[in-house]
Amino acid sequence: MDLAFLHPLYEHPGPWASVYVGTSRHTEDTPHERHLTARAMASELAGQGADEATCRVVGRAIDELRHSSEPHGRALFARGGEVVLDPPLARAPQRDHAVWAPLPRVTPLLELAGEDPVCVVAYVDRKGAAFELRSALGRDDAGGVTGRQWPVHRTGSVDWSERRFQLRVENTWEHSAAEIADALAVSQEETGADLLILVGDDRERHEVRRRLPQRLHHRVVEAAHGAGSRLLDDDVDRARTEHVQTHAAAELQRFLAARGRDDAGRGGAVEGVPALVEAAREHRIDELLIRPDGPDAHREVWIGEDPDQLAMRRTELRTLGEQHSWAARADDALVRSVVTTDAEALVVTVIPGLDDDTPVGGLGALLRWT
């Protein structure tokens, strides 16, 4: 998961209010219920020591959701009387909750709004393609492309002139398939889509896929629907879920292969909080793997004002020259380091056939260099 959208959270010092509220319930009582939620979350933050201005702005932001039709929920990150970031969620939180802490509480966000691939669905036929952008928040038109305007249906005649006509039809379709593939590649780059779903007859889908750039082949899924059909939300959700699971399993396998040591005792992956803290200080983390239910996620570490100032013990920070330090959760401290060094993070769950404790303690990382 690309964490660039979290940068605003680390441009200001803490402490931070981190709030998760669900919006999946929609009844005539919803406005009143969300008003009560706003008061409850503000009160919860105040009880944890948050300043009045931040409590007030969080309560106001939640209260403004009382008429929202958002399907899942919202996360709110605030400090100093200002909501800095309020991303929508792709899944509803199990419960509404608020935390006041030195660092933003972001691990739940990675799980609730994280691996939620944006898709471009391409409805392909021999005359061109229509593109549709799909995400957890709905669907939008994403343009399309029209191929050459030659007749595109072959006849059954064996006459020589008809053979020439059929050849022209084939050439026209091949040109159209190339144009569709080019346009789809551009659409993927513009939207940042994680997944490309091709819909249409078998031959049309295969021809477009074959002409896509090699770098996109691992993002392509072909839907077994005929030309002219429209994918249901369930079809798209299934494709997105399978893509996430496949990616997570591949990254875990890569992690398992990389954590072995070479003859010089070097490895391409580490696990466990002490090793991760050292790797984070050296800016060596390429991808952080987090299992939210792992025992190491809430293990205490010590942080300074800068993202690479983190240690297992407070005295270590003083040795590094840091005069101000705070206790923080290990997962929050590591995510801060990952975001500010432009690394990535992946929330992993139990994968069939792999140890339930992979990575050990619930935290691991693939390294940039060994």
Would you list the DSSP string of 2-52? B-GGGGGGGSS-S-EEEEEEE----STTHHHHHHHHHHHHHHHHHHTT--H
Helix axes 52-63, 30-47, angle to 10 degrees: 160
Does residue 293 surpass a pLDDT of 80? yes
Q: State residue 364 phi and psi, 5-degree precision.
A: -155, 175
d(CA 109, CA 76): 10
Average pLDDT of span 333-341: 96
pLDDT in tens, 167-201: 444 456 677 888 889 999 998 888 888 889 888 88
pLDDT at residue 163 in the model: 45
Count of beta carbons in the 10 Å neighbourhood of residue 257: 11
The string over 23-33, giving b where at least 16 C-beta atoms fall within 10 Å of a residue's C-beta and e elsewhere, is beeeeeebeee
Tokens of 70: 């958002």
Which position has the token pair 């975001």? 339
Q: Which of 22-31, 154-163, 228-237, 327-336 has the lowest mean pLDDT?
A: 154-163
Does residue 17 surpass a pLDDT of 50? yes
Does residue 370 surpass a pLDDT of 80? no
* More reliable by pLDDT, 97 or 112: 97
pLDDT in tens, 258-292: 987 666 667 899 999 999 999 999 999 999 999 88
Contact 200, 123 (CB under 8 A): yes
pLDDT at residue 158 in the model: 45
pLDDT at residue 239 in the model: 81
Does residue 326 surpass a pLDDT of 50? yes
141 burial via Cβ count (<10 Å: 0-12, 13-18, 19+): exposed
- What would the DSSP string read from start to end of 75-108? EEEEETTEEEE-PEESS--SS-EEEEESS---HH
pLDDT at residue 268 in the model: 92
* More reliable by pLDDT, 240 or 156: 240
pLDDT in tens, 127-158: 788 888 887 666 777 777 775 544 444 444 44
* More reliable by pLDDT, 231 or 65: 65
> Which of the four pLDDT bands, split at 50, 70 and 90, describes residue 340?
very high
pLDDT at residue 161 in the model: 46
Instruction: Tell which residue, 317, 288, 358, has the closest CA to residue 6.
Output: 288
* More reliable by pLDDT, 243 or 228: 243
* Percentage of the chain modeled with pLDDT above 70: 85
Give how far Cα 199 sits from Cα of 29, 192, 214, 222, 262, Å: 41, 20, 19, 6, 46
> Which of the four pLDDT bands, split at 50, 70 and 90, describes residue 353?
low
Mean predicted lDDT score pLDDT of the chain: 84
Q: Which of 118-127, 337-346, 353-362 has the lowest mean pLDDT?
A: 353-362
Average pLDDT of span 70-80: 94
Does residue 205 surpass a pLDDT of 90? no
Contact 337, 10 (CB under 8 A): no
Q: Is residue 353 helix, strand or coil? A: coil
Average pLDDT of span 205-225: 86
Helix axes 330-340, 273-281, angle to 10 degrees: 30
Give how far Cα 370 sits from Cα of 165, 362, 363, Å: 60, 21, 18
pLDDT at residue 125 in the model: 81
pLDDT at residue 67 in the model: 87
Highest averaged pLDDT of the listed ranges 197-206, 309-318, 325-334: 325-334
pLDDT at residue 115 in the model: 63
d(CA 1, CA 343): 9
Instruction: Tell which residue, 237, 240, 365, has the closest CA to residue 290.
Output: 365
Average pLDDT of span 292-298: 89
pLDDT at residue 202 in the model: 83
Does residue 88 surpass a pLDDT of 80? yes
pLDDT at residue 228 in the model: 53
* Percentage of the chain modeled with pLDDT above 90: 41
Average pLDDT of span 338-347: 92
Tokens of 22: 């669900």
Helices (H), 98-201: 107-112, 160-191
